[in-house]
């Protein structure tokens, strides 16, 4: 569980280290506010991928007609999430996640896919790790090995400091099973 008291103390220490006065009007409740915010934006750190799969794992039996050899792709596009990069504790924003999979008898509710993405973002992350975590969870819930997750997003540690490339977006893809080799399936997650 996230230790809010400890976060408050450490944020207060950072304010002092910055040369500011944590008792002044504008800052006196800042450590408490930051601790509250961290509890919310890092909620996903309380759970493993397996626990998130169990939390949102309600699936429906898909009506699969085995006699029809058609691929049924489920795609959810442009899921908005936020996250924080583990290298700088900096916000990653305007992130759009696309999730696709080939059902194997079990179908997950679409709102659950969005909630999985949201919870995975609520951790100290790397963009490519977000894709891997989401794919792990979707694989576990649906029992399918054919899963793809693509993500694009801005990293404030790139856009607002260092090299200051304000329009640089990062794109990443986690392709599994048939999404790795089948170009007609990759079309869905572009
Ligand atoms: Zn960073």
**Span 115-165, pLDDT tens digits:** 999 999 999 999 999 999 999 999 999 999 999 999 999 999 988 887 777
For residue 86, is pLDDT > 70? yes
Q: Is the domain of 176 the same as that of 82? A: yes
If asked whether residues 132 and 154 sit together in one domain, one would say yes
Question: What is the distance, to the nearest Å, from the Cα of residue 176 to the centroid of all Cα atoms in its chain?
Answer: 18
Same domain, 75 and 95: yes
How far away, in angstroms, is 121 Cα from ligand 1 center?
14
Nearest to 180 by CA among 147, 140, 150, 131: 147
Query: Which residue range(s) make up the domain with 20?
Result: 4-40
Q: How far is the CA of 157 from the centre of ligand 1 (A)?
A: 5
Considering the domain architecture, whether residues 53 and 118 belong to the same structural domain is answered as: yes
Residue percentage of the chain with pLDDT more than 70:
95
CATH of the domain at 159: 3.30.1130.10
Residues with Cβ–ion distance below 5 A, ligand 1 = 85, 87-88, 90, 157
Confidence at residue 141, expressed as pLDDT on a 0 to 100 scale: 95
User: Residue 4 C-alpha to ligand 1 middle, in angstroms?
Assistant: 23
C-alpha span between 132 and 42 (Å, rounded): 18
How far does residue 7's CA lie from ligand 1's centre (Å)?
20
Regarding whether 139 and 66 lie in a shared domain, the answer is: yes
- Report the chain's mean pLDDT, rounded to a whole number: 92
Q: Does the pLDDT at position 190 exceed 80?
A: no
CATH number of the domain where residue 27 is located: 1.10.286.10
The residues carrying an active-site annotation are: 85-88, 127, 155, 157
Q: Residues 10, 13, 15, 17: what is their CA dihedral angle, to the nearest 10 degrees?
A: -130
Do 84 and 16 sit in the same domain of this protein?
no
Domain total of the chain: 2
């Amino acid at each position: 569980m996230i230790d809010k008291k400890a976060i408050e103390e450490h944020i207060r220490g950072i304010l002092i280290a910055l040369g500011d006065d944590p008792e002044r009007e504008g800052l006196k409740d800042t450590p408490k506010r930051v601790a509250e915010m961290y509890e919310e934006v890092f909620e996903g750190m309380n759970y493993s991928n397996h626990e998130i799969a169990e939390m949102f794992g309600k699936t429906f039996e898909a009506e699969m007609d085995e006699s029809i050899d058609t691929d049924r792709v489920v795609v959810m596009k442009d899921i908005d999430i936020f996250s924080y990069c583990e290298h700088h504790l900096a916000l990653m924003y305007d992130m759009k996640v696309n999730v696709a999979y080939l059902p194997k008898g079990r179908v997950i509710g679409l709102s659950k896919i969005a909630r999985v993405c949201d919870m995975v973002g609520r951790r100290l992350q790397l963009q490519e790790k977000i894709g891997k975590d989401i794919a792990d969870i979707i694989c576990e819930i649906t029992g399918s090995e054919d899963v793809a997750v693509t993500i694009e997003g801005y990293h404030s540690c790139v856009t607002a400091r260092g090299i200051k490339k304000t329009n640089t977006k990062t794109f990443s893809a986690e392709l599994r099973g048939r999404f790795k080799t089948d170009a007609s399936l990759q079309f869905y997650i572009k």
